[in-house]
Amino acid sequence: SYELTQSPSVSVSPGQTASITCSGDKLGEKYASWYQQKPGQSPVLVIYQDRKRPSGIPERFSGSNSGNTATLTISGTQAMDDADYYCQAWDRNTAWGVVFGGGTKLTVL
């Protein structure tokens, strides 16, 4: 089955740029989405179709996807960005099932 791999944790200082990666076989040939989740809350979509931002998501969130790696970039990271981030893609080999990465804990310190 298809797998997405994320680093368990990333740390960044306030105001700096955070990069969170998600790797999978030929991931660049699929659309990647990214979700932010804070403790006790439901996930929130922050990037879809590799690089699009939903309404209400700050411009400091951006995405890219090429080769085997999708990247979520947060520019000018703020304390409120401290959260878990999950990548997600579709797996056509399982009749369009869904796969999540294991999640990355972003710590802003």
Partner 1 sequence: QVRLVQSGAEVKKPGASVKVSCKASGYSFTGQYIHWVRQAPGKGLEWMGWINPNSGATNYAQKFQGRVTLTTDTSISTAYMDLSSLRSDDTAVYFCARDRGSYDYWGQGTLVTVSS
Report the residue from 45, 57, 73, 75 that binds partner 1 according to the rule CB under 8 A.
Answer: 45
Count of residues near partner 1 by CB under 8 A? 25
Indicate whether 2 belongs to the interface with partner 1 (CB under 8 A).
no
Told to check if 63 binds partner 1 by CB under 8 A, we report no
Which residue among 70, 86, 106, 108 contacts partner 1 (CB under 8 A)? 86
Among 61, 103, 106, 108, interactor with partner 1 by CB under 8 A: 103
- Report the C-alpha gap between 106 and 96 in whole angstroms: 29
Write out the E strands in the chain: 5-6, 9-12, 18-23, 32-37, 44-47, 61-66, 69-74, 83-91, 97-100, 104-108
